[in-house]
Chains A and B, each alone.
Chain A
Amino acid sequence: GAVVSQHPSWVICKSGTSVKIECRSLDFQATTMFWYRQFPKQSLMLMATSNEGSKATYEQGVEKDKFLINHASLTLSTLTVTSAHPEDSSFYICSARWPGGYNEQFFGPGTRLTVL
């Protein structure tokens, strides 16, 4: 159990375009999902906490109008990078909080975004 999928696995886009990344919890319902960004050889950086049915909570320094998060159901959260620029190129990882237990997070496989 506790499988989280992410789609797409990698995407290459032109500067100025928007990219949507989906995160799904396949075998459990996740009230809370998280979006992280990770640059090469650096640790995870939490971007935002996504709660089903309400607005996402963004970390300081993360532009909410640029990184749109929608958590419309208990199994799906989406991250849209709007007007992407080369500096947005990164590894984006979502996680879903296990409902109960230890509040552990299970991670999706990540999406590698390259903006040309």
Chain B
Amino acid sequence: GQNIDQPTEMTATEGAIVQINCTYQTSGFNGLFWYQQHAGEAPTFLSYNVLDGLEEKGRFSSFLSRSKGYSYLLLKELQMKDSASYLCAALDSNYQLIWGAGTKLIIKP
């Protein structure tokens, strides 16, 4: 079956760095997405990786290892507004997004 695993909840301190991991098992693979979702709001697109390596976009970076079925989202210089759920989603061979349950990130001052 198809499966996405990510931690349920993480806590970090304002100004620090946090890494949210995601492992996936899908029927075929056409890339991995990270979305941010604030409580009561719809998800917003953060990043897309299809090749191995690190993609940096400002304070946020995303890494992919296709051979390991593994990705992480790295958030630097954490701000209180980064408190949200972070959703990992893999695109399978049918270009269908398979969603993880999300990681709730709590930022403490």
- How many whole Å from A52's CB to the nearest CB in chain B? 16
CA distance A43 to B97 in the complex (A): 13
B48: interface (CB < 8 Å): yes
Given contacts A102-B48, A104-B33, contact A93 B101 (CB under 8 A): no
Q: Which of B45, B91, B95, B99 has the largest count of A CB atoms less than 10 A from its CB? A: B45
Q: Are A109 and B42 in contact (CB under 8 A)?
A: yes
> SS class of chain B's interface: helix, strand, loop or mixed?
loop
Please report the total number of A residues contacting B with Cβ < 8 Å. 19
- How many whole Å from B30's CB to the nearest CB in chain A? 7
Which residues does chain A contribute within 8 Å of B50, judged by CB atoms?
102
Given contacts A44-B87, A110-B41, contact A103 B102 (CB under 8 A): no
Residue of B nearest to A103 (CB): B95
Given contacts A44-B43, A109-B41, contact A104 B48 (CB under 8 A): yes
B44: interface (CB < 8 Å): yes
Q: Are A44 and B41 in contact (CB under 8 A)?
A: no
Which residues does chain A contribute within 8 Å of B91, judged by CB atoms?
103
- How many whole Å from B52's CB to the nearest CB in chain A? 16
Which residues of A line the B interface, CB within 8 A?
6, 34, 42-44, 46, 49, 91, 93, 102-110, 112
Other 11 A-B pairs with CB < 8 A, given A43-B99, A44-B87, A110-B41: A34-B97, A43-B100, A43-B102, A46-B96, A46-B97, A49-B96, A93-B43, A102-B31, A104-B45, A106-B45, A108-B42
- How many whole Å from A100's CB to the nearest CB in chain B? 12
Which residues does chain A contribute within 8 Å of B97, judged by CB atoms?
34, 46, 105
CA distance A6 to B102 in the complex (A): 23
Q: Are A110 and B42 in contact (CB under 8 A)?
A: yes
- How many whole Å from A31's CB to the nearest CB in chain B? 12
